[in-house]
Amino acid sequence: MKRPPAIDPQTHALFLDFDGTLVELVDDPDSVALARDRVERLQEMTDRLSGALAIVSGRRISDLDRFLSPLSFAAAGVHGLERRVRPDGETEFLMAPDALDPVRNALAPTLEENQRLSLEDKGTALVLHFRTAPDLADVARGVMERATRDRDDLVVMEGDNIVEVHPAGMDKGRALADFMTSAPFEGRIPVYLGDDTTDEFALQTVMDMGGVAVKVGTKDSVAGYRLANVADVHHWLDVCGI
């Protein structure tokens, strides 16, 4: 396993996935927690990077703010459909939630019949969770496929025990590329850490930019570097040079 190199706070920009990278994956998405000293370390790194640290997540930015309080940080939420380019900036919403109303309606009967499935409604994305009901994985995939059939304006992605739909034209890689065109990220070398299938878009973008792409875990990846797990991520963040 090739470990990532040291980071220069003057020349690099750091992008971090949240679930599975900064915090462990859990059955209840609302039960995650990050220790106070870890939040303080992220704030220290943000300051040393002059604000060029962003959390890039499928979560809503409002949820990230709640989990990471009182950290002030840039963020791309819902795979980039929500943006906050500067730590002290306003959140921008790129899509309207009502585009997914027909999908919500199509999913409702299956959710009623299979109450071990749970729907996380992010407004601009819908996530079917089956971590606590792995036997319903095919049910979740099937109902999402049917609910989005003939909707070229939507994209369906699978992750760790989830199937998610959101408007097409956006992913973590595109969000990262957009961040790199604006201060405080512009002109820096991107570094990205992520564990999931959805992170591969960002990892490939970073590779194309000549940056440092770091896969967390053992899944196949385009990334050139690896960290073993969440604990390893935090150890590396402590020794990476920032």
Residue 101 a catalytic site member: no
Tokens matching residue 45: 């790194």
CB-based contact 167:154 (threshold 8 Å): yes
Q: Which token pair is 171?
A: 């992913």
3-state secondary structure of 192: strand
Round to whole Å and give the CA distance between 60 and 66.
10
CB 17 within 8 A of CB 209: no
Please spell the DSSP secondary structure of 51-99, one letter per residue: T-EEEE-SS-HHHHHHHHTT---EEEEGGGTEEE-STTS--EE-S-GGG
Phi, psi (degrees; rounded to nearest 5) at 82: -120, 140
Using an 8 Å Cβ cutoff, are 162 and 130 in contact?
yes
Q: How far is CA 130 from CA 35, 111, 139, in A?
A: 27, 11, 9
Per annotation, catalytic residue among 17, 63, 65, 196? 17
Handedness of CA 62, 136, 230, 206 (dihedral sign): negative
List active site positions: 17
